[in-house]
Amino acid sequence: MPIQPVTGRENIKSMICNFTASWTETTWDLINLVAAGDLVVAERLDRTKAGGKSIDLPCVGVFELENGKIRVWRDYFDMGTYTGQLA
């Protein structure tokens, strides 16, 4: 993961809002989706427009569910790939 873990609903909301503040458009292309019990792994390509630039960011999201809701969410991607396309 490219950043330290964030816990708590409000902290997570704040982190996502700050990270995506410059985004004007986003689509998520699912490449592979694997599930076993309460574990879901989603390989995807996040296509974003930010600061007038197009960014394609390969990611893998790992979701641990509990009672049908996300209990733990981890995204794995290369921050350099993201920031390099913003430059």
Kindly list the structural domains of the chain, giving each domain's residue range(s) and its CATH number in brackets, ordered by start. Answer: 24-86 (3.10.450.50)
Condensed to tens digits (0 to 9), the pLDDT of residues 18-66 reads 888 888 999 999 999 999 999 999 999 999 998 889 999 999 999 999 9
Predicted structure pTM score: 0.79
- Local structure of 17: helix, strand or coil: helix
Q: What is the tens place of the pLDDT at every residue in 57-71?
A: 999 999 999 999 999
Report the alpha-carbon distance of residue 35 to residue 63 in Å, rounded.
9
Check if the beta carbon of residue 64 is closer than 8 Å to that of residue 87: no
3-state helix, strand, coil in the chain (%, to 5): 20, 55, 25
